[in-house]
Structures are given as C-alpha cells and as structure tokens.
C-alpha cells in the first residue's frame, strides 16, 4: 500500500520546498515518525502541521513515511482525537486545493495511533515497523521519535526505545526532546546522565523552538553576510547596549503546576533568551554547518559571562498570580508563591570585544504588549544642537524583530544611519513600502527592512532540520550544562526574594521600568508594593541563621542566601586566622553546583579575603579535560578563581589529564597530588575543607560503593561514580579527616529526604559516606538551608 501511495504522489506532486541537505536524510527508503504525546496541545498546535509539511516536501523525492501518534490511552479512545488533530493540517500556499486534498488524504492513511505505555507496546511497535517495511519491500532510511511529554518521563521512555525500537541496517535514529531539560545544574546533569545511558549525544535533538524562528535563525547569517560593515562596529567601542526582550500579554493559567516550579527565568530566559544572546555575541563560525564549531563558539560566550550576582536581576509577579496558583493547585489562601513571572537580568561579558557592554535580558507575562526582539543599540557621538530630526541625529540600531508587536511580521531592521545590509538569501526580501508603523519611536522609513518571503512556523522549520540532521539548530549537552551553570547561582540567590507585584497589562505603567547602574540593575521607581511581612505564608519568619546540632555535630541553618553569607563570613574568618598564625591558608574546595553561590559571594563581596596567601586545592575532580564544562576546575575557575587576585602558583588543580589521557592509574596522578599536598600543607592538614553533600549522601567523590578501606593512609585516590562521568579523582577520608575544619554544605529541597534518613541513623553509621566525615582533632560543621532541613 505504501509503495502505491508513494507512486501516486510522485506523479501528482510538483511542489516547491526545502531540499534535503545532508547525507543521512538522502539515504533512500522509508522513514517512521513516532510522536509521543500525540494528542497533547503542542502536537495539535504545531507538531502535526510540521510533520505534514515535511511529508509534502519529501514524498516527491521518493521518500515514504509512516506516522505513529503515541500515548498512554488505548487506541479506541485516542484514535478519533488524533485524527481530529491530523485533519486540521494545512498545505503550503502554492499547493492547489485539489492536490492538497489528495496529500491530506495520503497523510491520514499513513498515520495511526499506538498505545505506548509498556515495554511490550514499544516492542509491538518495532515489530509493526519491521513488518511494514518487509510487506512493502522498502529499505529503512530512518526512525524519528518526538517526545512531546513531561520531562520526568524522558529517561524511562528513552530506555524503552533503546531496548526495543532501534533500527537495524544502518538507518538513522533520532530522538527529539522538548524543554525543560532540568531545573538547575544538578538536575540537568542528572537528566543528561540518565539519558546518556540510553541514547548517544548525536541521536538527541534538544529543541529550543526559538532557534526555529526565522529571524533568530537569520542572526548568524546576517552577521556573516554583512561582515564588512559590522566588523568595525560590532564591539565595545561602538555598541551602547544589547537587549533581548520577550514581552507577553497572557497569564499562565492552565500551566500552573509546571510554571510555579519554574518561573520566568527557567521558562524562557535560561533557554530562549540566552540562545539569542549567544547568537548575537558569539564568534561567527567559519562554516555555518559545522555544528561542532557553533557549539564551541557558543560555549565561549557562556564561559566569558561574569557570574550573576543578586544585584544583576530584578523580578516581578503579576498581581493575580498567587490567587491563580491557589485556585489551580488547590492551595490554601495563605499560600503565597514567590515564583517570578517577570525578570530583567543584566549580563556582562568578560571578553575584550564586549567588555563593559550591558546585555539586558528581559521577559514577563501579563505585560502591555506581545513582542519579541533582539536589539543592538549603537553609541551616537553626534551632538545635535537644533534639529534632532536630521538623519545623523537619529538612533543607530539593528533590530531582529521576532514578530508580533507594532510591526506584526518578522524582520531585520537596520537604521539608515548605519549601512544598507546586503540581501543574498533568496528566501528573504526587502520591504520598501512602509506603513505608518513606528518601531522604538522611529518611523519604519528610518530603517532598511528585510523580511522572509514566506513565513514559516518555528516548529515546521525545526522538524525539517531534524530530518536533515542539522544539529547546529539544537541544544548540545555541553551548552545546556554551561547555561545552567550560569543561571543556577542566580536562581539560588533569588530563591527567597520577594518579587515586585505588578497589576498587569497597560496598568503596569512604569512600575517595571529598569535602570542599569554600573554592574547592577534596579527598578526605576522605588515603590514598595508589598513587604515580606505582608506576604504571610511560605517563607516568612526569621532571616537569622540558627545554630544547633545535627547528628551530634554543630549545625548552622538559614534560608539559602543567608546561609551562604554566613559560610562565606566563617571562611574569611578562618582564612584570616590561618594567615595570622602561619602566613598561609590552605583551602580545599569541592565541585558540583552546591558551592557556586558561595563562590560568587566570595568573589563579589569579600574583597578583603586574603587570596594572596591562600592556596586553593580541589576536593575532587571528574576525569574530563579541564576545558570541559563538566570539569570541577572549569566551574571553580569560571565562578571564583578568575575574579579574585590569587597568585597562579597557589592554584592546585587535580592532575586528571596526564600523558594526554585521563585518570590512568599508571600515570600516577593521585600520587602526584598527594606528594604536592605533603610538600606544601603542614602535616597534610588543610585549614578548611568545603564539602558539598550529594542527595545520595556522597561527599567529595566518595560514594556508597567506594571501597574506602582500601585507601588506607592514602590522601588522594581514583574512584568510580555511579553517575557520568564515572571516573573521578578524590581526596580520601584520611585527607578530609586530617583537616582543621570541614564544612558540610547541604542545599535544596531535593536533599530533604537524605537529611531525614540521616537524622534517623543509629548504629548504621557507615551507610552514607557523609557520616564518615569526622575530623580529629579538627571539627566539622553542617551548613544546611531550610529547604534541606525542613523540606
């Protein structure tokens, strides 16, 4: 049946469309597409339309397809719902009505619903695909799974697909994932590690639908096409400010269970706006289709971002939000949510090209208009005495207008005071007839305007790129983790911040106007709409740290931010005392995301810290190159070391890479580190060891399965972690328990379960690595935030 349908279409269709671009997609034969969450909102609104468009474009080149809508429900219930959605797809403009009817009919015939719940369901699907291929005597070109389902189900589904649905015989295999990809650096790492055990990185396509928006996809090509004009001005000497703004008018009703956990920074700023910012500031690749180069250049931007302190963001929440949460999530009236629905963040890049240029990222719900744009505003050195309407007095700017707003269509706008951009892309055209529209207060006639000839939905665009195997339009795992490592510390520091309440829509007036002052951002108006003590409910009461005992050991507890302040203050006190006593302070720092907020606090508030006399050691390291974002040293360097005046020779990274290989026993890296400690640290006794505590109770890289007895008197050892990257180098308990002072940092709700377990431990003290921390004659102190302590 497939073959006949295909022949019919080949003769019927003579459509325009995107040609396949890369090798994989060109493999002849059949493609199976499986959409999980097939009857969900996203699939109904965008995905099926995107797949139909792909179908229309590809069948004429000899490709055949099957589409499977998958879901939890049984086929008798879900099939009619799926077909209702499939019937709504529409043809591209150039297809005649008659042809369109045939194409739609064919599309429906090659589509079906499958219940995909158990492993057997997936095995049946795989069998069905094999049988279809055999029956129609076609080879297989590829299989595509689109996971339009909640992220917590990803790992399980990936596992099932991996175990039952991989194609054989060289066909390609791709799995598409939708955000959210985690909630913080730690959760993103966990998700990446779980997915990584079923799928290869090159098989995963993590979607950020903003990268499919035509104007956003145009940013890099535009920069490259206009290199000649941009090279002299795309730098700190000429750029006044960069803005990436997404204003929305809707609220978040109907999505509260997701949104209240995430908020605007995680929902759109960590991903969409950050991606756009990177496209504007990254070094353009020498070849756009070299996805490795694109990833590396983006990573460079992320690693050059200066850490975000609390003063670099302001947050707001629309007035109705809390009552909407109460209603939708069945909460009591005194439950006040602190989730921000508006945020403006000021970024700065530590990079010779953009040093000192403010980069503003801003987004919010319930604002006065729906509009999205990225604007590069240039300095204007003209002084216009009388007629500031003359051309040379007008602002100089380049605007990538995503759509909506006053202009209503996507466009790239270049001030006529700058240059006339070239137009080399046949899919774009110049707009010369200007309506009365104004953009940022200037008439459209002040700009050269380019727009796509045909507007395409972001999802349709991305679906055809997945099909073509164009990985550079998707989020790589390195990028994802690097982005979370930028945003997680800010999110932690805002965790107990009270958002400014705004009424919504036009009534916001200037309440959300922001002012950029040096490195800080502030709301312009000082109006205090609501005070913490008026909020009631959630986190009221006590900003003081409390002191107590936990598992017979001293404990300090407070809200995260105050806890970090206290720990930083204690650290400085210990450093000063050590320097006074012996002229040097030996500090061993752990990796992971728990200490990031502390690093920022130290870097940006403790200017008198005796860094000059401090030696920084590492508690543990992952066996990866120090330039990779997974490396503990990479984080330590980016978030702390590069911002403080510490002599290079006082920094001691763990030698995990020797002889151009990683953590090989014979290379003796652990012994080298041990010798260095013995030589430099008096009695091998660090003054201060900072340990993050994992949710499974591990500290340093000493896990439940680690045979710590074997370490004996060793100070440093190679160990194995249950999560990726598996190989580690770590201080041993011998080294840790020699220290004068050990801080055990426990942060976040997800640690509460562990804390409960620890508090119940009686005789089974060896159950969790953390309980082996017992410095003698030194002492250890728990630093535990209220979330971890009280859940």
The residues of the shown chain that bind ligand BG6, judged by CB under 6 A, are 246, 248, 267-268, 372
Shortest distance, position 459 Cβ to ligand BG6, whole Å: 9
Phi, psi of 115 (to 5 degrees): -75, 125
237 included as an active-site residue: no
Smaller CB distance to ligand BG6: residue 262 or 688? Answer: 262
Shortest distance, position 605 Cβ to ligand BG6, whole Å: 33
Full DSSP string of 391-405: GGGS-EEEEEEEEET
| 343, containing H or E segment | strand 342-347
Smaller CB distance to ligand BG6: residue 243 or 248? Answer: 248
Cis-peptide, bond into residue 777, ω within 30° of zero: yes
Shortest distance, position 154 Cβ to ligand BG6, whole Å: 17
- Bridge-based pairing state of the strands 396-404 and 313-318: unpaired
**Nearest CA-CA partner of 58 in 1, 125, 106, 128:** 106
Shortest distance, position 318 Cβ to ligand BG6, whole Å: 13
Measure the CA–CA gap between 268 and 44, rounded to whole angstroms: 22
Shortest distance, position 210 Cβ to ligand BG6, whole Å: 7
Shortest distance, position 160 Cβ to ligand BG6, whole Å: 26
Shortest distance, position 250 Cβ to ligand BG6, whole Å: 7
Smaller CB distance to ligand BG6: residue 372 or 410? Answer: 372
Closest residue to ligand BG6 using C-beta atoms: 267
768-772: long-range contacts at Cβ-Cβ below 8 A with a sequence spacing of 24 or more? Answer: 768/696, 768/697, 768/698, 768/704, 769/697, 769/698, 769/699, 769/702, 769/703, 769/704, 769/706, 769/708, 770/691, 770/693, 770/697, 770/698, 770/699, 770/744, 771/551, 771/697, 772/702, 772/708, 772/733, 772/737
* Residue 199 per-residue DSSP state: S
Torsion, Cα of 552, 556, 560, 564 (10° steps): -120
Shortest distance, position 372 Cβ to ligand BG6, whole Å: 5
Shortest distance, position 500 Cβ to ligand BG6, whole Å: 20
Smaller CB distance to ligand BG6: residue 372 or 697? Answer: 372
Smaller CB distance to ligand BG6: residue 25 or 280? Answer: 280
**Nearest CA-CA partner of 207 in 69, 90, 87, 46:** 46
Measure the CA–CA gap between 563 and 547, rounded to whole angstroms: 11
Characterise 311 by phi-psi region: left (phi > 0), alpha (psi -120 to 50), beta (else): alpha
Smaller CB distance to ligand BG6: residue 371 or 747? Answer: 371
Measure the CA–CA gap between 158 and 71, rounded to whole angstroms: 14
End-to-end CA distance of the chain: 58
Smaller CB distance to ligand BG6: residue 46 or 354? Answer: 46
Smaller CB distance to ligand BG6: residue 60 or 255? Answer: 255
**Nearest CA-CA partner of 493 in 563, 423, 547:** 563
Shortest distance, position 247 Cβ to ligand BG6, whole Å: 10
| 49, containing H or E segment | helix 48-59
Measure the CA–CA gap between 672 and 658, rounded to whole angstroms: 11
* Residues 1/136, Cβ–Cβ less than 8 Å: yes
- Tell me the helices (H) and strands (E) count for the chain, helix number first: 25, 33
> How far apart, in Å, are the Cα atoms of 728 and each of 196, 623, 749?
18, 5, 26
Neighbours of 674 (CB within 10 A): 21
Smaller CB distance to ligand BG6: residue 364 or 595? Answer: 364
> How far apart, in Å, are the Cα atoms of 743 and each of 319, 574, 588, 761?
41, 12, 10, 20
Smaller CB distance to ligand BG6: residue 215 or 729? Answer: 215
- List the structure tokens of 323: 């009552």
Residues 6+ apart with CB under 8 A from 543: 558, 559, 562
Smaller CB distance to ligand BG6: residue 248 or 657? Answer: 248
Measure the CA–CA gap between 108 and 763, rounded to whole angstroms: 65
Shortest distance, position 508 Cβ to ligand BG6, whole Å: 18
Shortest distance, position 370 Cβ to ligand BG6, whole Å: 8
- List the structure tokens of 713: 């008197």
Smaller CB distance to ligand BG6: residue 259 or 617? Answer: 259
* Residues 360/345, Cβ–Cβ less than 8 Å: yes
Phi, psi of 723 (to 5 degrees): -110, 160
- List the structure tokens of 396: 């100089």
Neighbours of 277 (CB within 10 A): 25
Instruction: Choose, from 183, 209, 272, 752, the residue flagged as catalytic.
Output: 272
| Residues that are catalytic | 272
């Amino acid at each position: 049946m497939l073959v006949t349908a295909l022949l019919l279409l080949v003769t019927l269709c003579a459509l325009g469309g995107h040609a396949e671009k890369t090798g994989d997609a060109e493999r002849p034969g059949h493609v199976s597409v499986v959409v999980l969450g097939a009857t969900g909102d996203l699939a109904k609104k965008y995905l099926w339309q995107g797949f139909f468009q792909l179908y229309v474009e590809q069948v004429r080149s000899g490709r055949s397809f099957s589409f499977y809508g998958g879901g939890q429900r049984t086929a008798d219930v879900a099939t009619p719902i799926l077909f209702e959605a499939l019937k709504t797809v529409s043809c591209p403009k150039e297809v005649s009505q008659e042809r369109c009817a045939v194409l739609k009919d064919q599309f429906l015939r090659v589509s079906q619903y499958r219940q995909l719940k158990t492993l057997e369901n997936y095995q049946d699907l795989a069998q069905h695909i094999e049988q279809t291929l055999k029956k129609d005597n076609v080879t297989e070109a590829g299989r595509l799974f689109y996971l339009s389902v909640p992220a917590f189900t990803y790992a399980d589904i990936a596992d099932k697909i991996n175990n039952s649905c991989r194609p054989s015989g060289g066909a390609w295999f791709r799995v598409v994932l939708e955000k959210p990809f985690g909630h913080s650096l730690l959760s993103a790492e966990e998700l990446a590690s779980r997915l990584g055990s079923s799928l290869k990185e090159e098989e995963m396509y993590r979607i950020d639908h903003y990268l499919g928006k035509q104007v956003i996809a145009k940013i890099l090509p535009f920069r490259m096409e206009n290199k000649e004009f941009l090279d002299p001005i795309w730098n700190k000497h000429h750029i006044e400010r960069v803005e990436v703004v997404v204003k929305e008018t809707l609220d978040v009703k109907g999505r509260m269970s997701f949104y209240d956990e995430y908020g605007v920074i995680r929902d759109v700023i960590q991903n969409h706006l950050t991606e756009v910012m990177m496209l504007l500031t990254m070094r353009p690749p020498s070849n756009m289709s070299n996805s490795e180069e694109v990833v590396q250049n983006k990573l460079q931007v992320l690693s050059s971002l200066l850490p975000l302190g609390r003063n670099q963001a302001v947050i707001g929440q629309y007035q109705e939000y809390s009552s909407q949460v109460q209603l939708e999530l069945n909460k009591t009236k005194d439950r006040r949510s602190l989730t921000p629905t508006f945020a403006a963040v000021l970024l700065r890049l530590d990079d010779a090209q953009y040093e000192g240029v403010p980069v503003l990222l801003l987004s919010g719900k319930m604002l006065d208009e729906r509009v999205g744009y990225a604007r590069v505003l240039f300095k204007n050195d003209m002084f216009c005495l009388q007629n500031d309407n003359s051309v040379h007095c007008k602002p100089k700017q380049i605007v990538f207008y995503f759509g909506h707003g006053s202009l209503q269509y996507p466009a790239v706008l270049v001030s006529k005071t700058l240059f006339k951009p070239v137009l080399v892309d046949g899919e774009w055209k110049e707009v010369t007839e200007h309506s009365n529209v104004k953009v940022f207060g200037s008439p459209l006639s002040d700009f050269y305007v380019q727009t796509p000839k045909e507007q395409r939905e972001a999802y349709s665009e991305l679906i055809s790129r997945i099909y073509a195997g164009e990985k550079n339009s998707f989020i790589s795992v390195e990028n994802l983790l690097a982005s979370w490592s930028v945003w997680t510390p800010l999110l932690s520091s805002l965790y107990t911040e009270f958002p400014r309440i705004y009424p919504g829509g036009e009534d916001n007036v200037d309440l959300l106007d922001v002012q950029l002052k040096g490195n800080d951002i502030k709301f312009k108006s000082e109006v205090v709409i609501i005070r913490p003590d008026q909020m009631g409910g959630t986190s009221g009461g006590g900003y003081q740290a409390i002191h107590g005992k936990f598992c017979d050991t001293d404990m300090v507890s407070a809200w995260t931010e105050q806890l970090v302040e206290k720990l930083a203050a204690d650290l400085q006190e210990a450093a000063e005392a050590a320097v006074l006593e012996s002229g040097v302070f030996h500090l061993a720092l752990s990796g992971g995301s728990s200490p990031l907020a502390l690093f920022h606090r130290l870097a940006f508030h403790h200017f008198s810290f005796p860094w000059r006399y401090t030696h920084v050691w590492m508690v543990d390291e992952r066996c990866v190159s120090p330039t990779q974002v997974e490396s503990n040293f990479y984080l330590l360097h980016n978030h702390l070391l590069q911002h403080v005046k510490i002599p290079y020779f006082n920094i001691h990274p763990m030698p995990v890479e020797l002889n151009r290989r990683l953590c090989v026993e014979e290379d003796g890296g652990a012994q080298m580190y041990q010798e260095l400690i013995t030589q430099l640290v008096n009695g091998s006794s660090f003054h201060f060891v900072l340990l993050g505590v994992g949710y499974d109770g591990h500290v340093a890289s000493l896990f439940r399965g680690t045979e710590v007895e074997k370490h004996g008197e060793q100070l440093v050892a190679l160990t194995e972690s249950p999560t990726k990257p598996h190989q580690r180098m770590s201080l041993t308990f011998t080294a840790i328990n020699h220290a004068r002072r050990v801080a055990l940092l426990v942060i976040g709700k997800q640690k509460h379960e562990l804390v409960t377990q620890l508090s119940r431990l009686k005789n089974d003290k060896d159950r969790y690595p953390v309980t082996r921390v017992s410095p003698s004659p030194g002492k250890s102190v728990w630093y535990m935030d209220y979330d971890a302590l009280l859940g």
